Amino acid sequence: MALYVYKFGGTSVGTVERIKAVADKVKRAHEAGDQLVVVVSAMSGETNRLIGLAKQMQVQPTERELDVLVSTGEQVTIALLCMALHDLGCNAVSYTGSQVRILTDSSFSKARIREIDDAKIRADLADGKVVVVAGFQGVDQDGNITTLGRGGSDTTGVALAAALKADECHIYTDVDGVYTTDPRVVPKARRLDKITFEEMLEMASLGSKVLQIRSVEFAGKYNVALRVLSSFAEGNGTLITYEDSNMEKALISGIAFNRDEAKLTLSGVPDLPGVASKILGPVAAENIEVDMIVQNVGANGTTDFTFTVNRNDYLRASNVLEGLRDQLGAQVVSGDDSIVKVSIVGVGMRSHAGIASTMFKVLADEGINIQMISTSEIKISVVIAEKYLELAVRALHTAFGLDQA
Amino acid sequence: MALYVYKFGGTSVGTVERIKAVADKVKRAHEAGDQLVVVVSAMSGETNRLIGLAKQMQVQPTERELDVLVSTGEQVTIALLCMALHDLGCNAVSYTGSQVRILTDSSFSKARIREIDDAKIRADLADGKVVVVAGFQGVDQDGNITTLGRGGSDTTGVALAAALKADECHIYTDVDGVYTTDPRVVPKARRLDKITFEEMLEMASLGSKVLQIRSVEFAGKYNVALRVLSSFAEGNGTLITYEDSNMEKALISGIAFNRDEAKLTLSGVPDLPGVASKILGPVAAENIEVDMIVQNVGANGTTDFTFTVNRNDYLRASNVLEGLRDQLGAQVVSGDDSIVKVSIVGVGMRSHAGIASTMFKVLADEGINIQMISTSEIKISVVIAEKYLELAVRALHTAFGLDQA
């Protein structure tokens, strides 16, 4: 008998019919003999409706009260799902975060889980019940309702799976798994049966929006096997787990890309110690997040300093650099907001030399100029002109053997 | 410094604007130096919306889960009201029934309050805060969410006022007080400044829908002074309290009436012991509530037995009697579903003889035939033909000196 935590997001429980479909899926798994804890989000649109009401009361709603308000969204879903399960003759009981109890710190709207009391849940499971838990919410030590922030229902699912030592945590969503790359760009993209936590983190932070990064980190930390599946279709989805001997022996697991980048360069800066912090300090002070950073030695004791930011921050970052140019004795500020980042990700590259050179050769063969390069242990990212995005991703997808059979 | 509990029903908090108006009223009273605990219902329509969702899940929704579901309605209101108060610079904090905690038994959907922990509320009041509490809900000893049943927010208000020994419990509603009778029937009806609990109970059970009977009983039991006021207008409303020396010396406080009655008679029943229970037992078994009962000795050792029921139950009750006729050896089953009950209510009649005869004479002078009579210590009710309702109520209103000056 296996113990699973199932998590269904807002879209999966967005209507009466969809809640009934979830109940049906849960009932079948329960009848097949599995122990099930089901975590649900608010019905899609409900959280935004509640926040809309709040903003009519107060431009900046008090965070404690906002958590009291929005936590009702999941509370509605747990009750409705239990009713749907009862209607199918499936024994089930609902708990809010506070009832479980999921103890958090007191950071309203972005609380962190401290401890989960699993006594009630274990007793109910032993009793043959399906346990339905409100995602996204908890309670602090003074009994105040807290929420974990947007996407927090994934975290609730993973934390419950860790506390209960569940066999797997299933994240049901509107995609049927993690793909080698975006199927809209590469029709031959393939669903992965397995991927490691590290790869998933690199894929996620590079723009794959399947899972909240925080829940993947959490799952990795507590060694919870995560599986991403579709709420609306059958299939085994993608298992996210630690590297093991049965792992597919692919060098590269996937190709991620990000269209939302822009790059900025400050050229001819006198190459003195501390120049990087003198440039990035003022940028950070403007709350602009910097992604890739490259510094190269230039001519005559000067250096060229290039970094990328989100395209929305391009103009603000340019203004910061213009303000710094004279102060740093730099010659030119230049930039480009029609660039993209393309990355190959895979734990296989750890043990294989030559991955980088293969990547660069593939791009060169297509006549694509590489503007920046950045590497980590399991990822190589390049910046190229936006117009080459599809060409680059498809060529790399084929070259690294990811195309569907 | 006085301590008040204010209770606002669903209509009073039915829109964003109305919640803001409530916040404004609360803030002014708080600034005037009063300590305030505010109990609110769900925004009007919300409870029905939630029940509608529940019924789409399950024809007879599980009561525990229904309570989890509908209790979100008040939780939304407490958060929104606190935000509106904060926006006005008024310090306030919200609590669900479970957070307070309002301990109840485990009768889901119709729980009874057992105990209220007033520690948090007292600390907050001492701290200068307005305390906003969700009406209608509590928590049982196992941590399950319970609700007190429809209209339960009044009960929450009264129970909190009792626990906190508040000076008064204000019930804000859409009428500005308790009237001598329905102003739609008698334009000269007058708002009462004071009325006793007993009178209010007789008025309420006879069809005045201002307050839930249960909360009036509760207020009487714990000697909580209740005041009914309008949310939308200024004014002192009506104070419901124990009889005291300052009470208006009116003989009759009000005239209540009920249009929803029908009467049934079983005539010529052999007059044997136990005949009443043989008739009413099968009626009760059909879940038909009986209101007035009159039994008279008839001719030749038989008796005539008459009772009234809600008009909606008239046909079902008739069928029950038809089934009983032969069994009891009765002669005739007859009935009338176009009758009404008119009652005069007042603690003054305790110490004054002749009230009944005055009532009967007033009706006789108008040519109104009395079909049934029933009396209690502070009430006399008569059943008359429906067509005489307005005539009877107006004549009695004038005769007992209730008309507005």
Q: pLDDT class for B208, splitting at 50, 70, 90?
A: low
The Cα B341–Cα B347 span in angstroms is 20
Our separate counts of H helices and E strands in chain A read 12, 18
Yes or no, beta carbons of A58 and B83 under 8 Å apart: yes
Element (H, E) at A291: strand A290-297
Q: Within 13 A of B312's CA, how many CA atoms are on the CB side?
A: 3
CB contacts under 8 A, A 200-239 vs B, are: none
Set out the domains of chain A in order of their start, with CATH numbers.
Answer: 3-173 (3.40.1160.10), 255-399 (3.30.2130.10)
pLDDT of B248 reads 52
Query: What's the average model confidence in pLDDT over B177-184?
Result: 89
Query: Does the CB of A131 have a partner CB in chain B at under 8 Å?
Result: no
pLDDT at position A206: 57
Q: Is the peptide bond before B191 cis (omega within 30 degrees of 0)?
A: no
Mean pLDDT of B29-47: 96
For chain B, percent of residues with pLDDT exceeding 90 = 68
For residue A202, with 0-12 CB atoms within 10 Å meaning exposed, 13-18 middle and 19 or more buried, which class applies? buried
pLDDT tens digits, residue range B282-326?
999 988 989 899 888 777 788 888 999 999 999 999 999 999 888
User: Given an 8 Å threshold on Cβ–Cβ distance, is A57 in contact with B84?
Assistant: yes
The residues, any chain, with a CB within 8 Å of residue A108's CB and separated by 6 or more, are A63, A64, A66, A67, A144, A146, A147
Confidence check: pLDDT of B206 > 60: no
Task: Please state the rounded mean pLDDT for residues B143-148.
Answer: 96
Q: Please report the pLDDT score of residue B134 as a whole number.
A: 98
Ranking A28-42, A126-140, B6-20, B191-205 by mean pLDDT, the lowest is B191-205
The span from the CA of B400 to the CA of B37, in Å, is 39
Q: Which residues contact A249 (CB under 8 A, 6 or more apart)?
A: A348
pLDDT-derived band of residue B350, with 50, 70 and 90 as boundaries? Answer: confident
Q: How far is A224 from chain B (nearest CA, A)?
A: 29
Mean pLDDT of B108-121: 95
Our separate counts of H helices and E strands in chain B read 12, 18
Q: What region, left, alpha or beta, does residue A127 occupy, with left being phi > 0 and alpha being psi -120 to 50 degrees?
A: alpha
Q: How close B3 comes to chain A (CA, Å)?
A: 24
Minimal-distance CA residue of chain B relative to A142: B99
Residues of chain A with pLDDT under 50: none
Say if residue B340's pLDDT is above 70.
Answer: yes
Burial of B89 (0-12, 13-18, 19+ CB in 10 A): exposed
Instruction: Give the residue on B whose Cα is nearest the Cα of A57.
Output: B84
Statement: the pTM of the whole predicted model exceeds 0.80: yes
Residues of A in contact with B94 (CB under 8 A): 65, 68
- Of the two residues B126 and B242, the one the predictor is more confident about is B126
Q: Answer yes or no: do B83 and A98 touch at CB < 8 A.
A: no
For B375, the enclosing helix (H) or strand (E) is: strand B372-376
B394 contact partners, CB below 8 Å, separation of at least 6: B185, B186
In terms of DSSP H, where are the helices of A105-174? 119-126, 152-164
Instruction: Please answer whether residues B302 and B270 qualify as being in contact, where contact means their C-beta atoms are separated by less than 8 angstroms.
Output: yes
* pLDDT of B244 strictly over 90: no
List of E strands, B42-166? 92-95, 102-104, 113-116, 130-134, 137-139, 145-147
How far, in Å, are A185, A207, A276, A379, B47 from residue A263 at the CA level? 23, 17, 16, 20, 53
CA B133 to chain centre: 22
**Residue B278 burial (CB count, 10 A):** 15
What is the per-residue pLDDT for A353?
A: 73
Cα separation values, A105 from A60, A95, A118, A387, B313, Å: 22, 19, 18, 47, 56
Does B58 reach chain A within 8 Å, measured CB to CB? yes
Confidence class for position B153, pLDDT limits 50, 70, 90:
very high
Name A374's Cβ contacts closer than 8 Å, sequence gap at least 6.
A292, A293, A294, A380, A381, A382
Q: Which tens digit of pLDDT belongs to each residue from A328-364?
A: 888 889 999 999 999 999 988 877 778 888 999 999 9
